[in-house]
Amino acid sequence: MPHTIAESSQDAPLFPPIEPYRSGMLAVDAIHTLYWEECGNPQGEPVLFLHGGPGGGISPKHRRFFDPSHYRIVLFDQRGAGRSTPLGEVRDNTTPLLVEDIERLRVMLGIERWLIFGGSWGSTLALAYGQAHPQRCSGFILRGIFLCSAAEIDWFMHGMGLFFPEAHAAFIGAVPEEERDDLLGAYARRLFSEDIAQSRAAARAWSIYEGSCARLLPDAETIADFGSDAVAIGIGRLEAHYFLHGGFLASGALLQGVDRIRHLPAIIVQGRYDVVCPPATAYKLARSWPQARLRVIADAGHSASEPGIMAALVEATEAFRMRRGFD
């Protein structure tokens, strides 16, 4: 049985804002160029931050989960996301290619092994990378587990409406009633349309839907951020692209592959009322990986910005810094 700790949130501030000491653009093929940055201690313990989405991108706040005096913090925008170019591009954008990008970045930076930190889709990619390259990982901090199964995709498209009916009504309202039997297909036709205005409108509707469901208590600032073109184009287009292809993963592959990484320390942080990525998935992963520590935050949803989730993630990075509690 997984080791589960149920707890309430407590205010625990992130580390102070920091700026990168190095950043750049890495061309990974003829189409995609990735933005990357390093923060913290150049001689410190390497840690890789993997953002969510797909298509979510990184933000300055993401640097602040880690003690900058200890960690060499590496962040990058995945293909089609954030400051990587082209924004929202789905050509040559698959999970195996993202795994290759991570390895290319590691080699370029001269890093032997690193701690892998990822939430939501970032947890998916962290598991995929770790199982492909376990010898390059020192451990995992995972949040809001998403395994990209057909059931999870169907839940996103339909099930979240059980808890956020207004947001779901707006989401399905963006497509004609006669197309709603295949909601993902209807969105895909619009998101990948050559009509730029139609594509952007669909991306905003998709992204606002997710932003509206991301927190235990919906937050207007979060919803507005998800509705901006800078976020929505990456989120809408890439999430639909990956959903259409089952995350470019064989069914059940990430659970079946746990044997490759079970010898590595791991902390899983999960909001009890996470509607975007429900706790059942984190529990399923923890049952397959009993060596991992599962922390269920009693008064949190999906967002890494919720107080209890933030506190637990900082505590996790501190536990790895001090190598505490992994016996």
Catalytic residues: 120, 274, 302
Q: What amino acid is encoded at 175 in this protein?
A: V
- Region for 92 from its dihedrals, namely left if φ exceeds 0, alpha if ψ lies in -120 to 50, beta otherwise: left
Burial class (CB in 10 A: 0-12, 13-18, 19+), 203: buried
Residue 150, CA atoms < 13 Å, CB-side half-sphere? 3
Provide φ and ψ at 69, rounded to 5°: -80, -20
Contacts (Cβ under 8 Å, ≥6 apart) of 29: 92
- Do you know the residue count of the chain? 327
Backbone angles phi, psi at 30, to 5 degrees: -70, -15
For 83, phi then psi, to 5°, come to -90, 0
CA–CA gap between residue 73 and residue 116 (Å, rounded): 10
Say which DSSP state 228 is in: S
| 37 vs 43: CA distance, rounded Å | 15
Strand pairing class (22-27; 33-40): antiparallel
Chain mean position to CA 103: 18
Name the CA radius of gyration of the chain, rounded.
Answer: 19
Q: Report the 10 Å Cβ neighbour count for 281.
A: 22
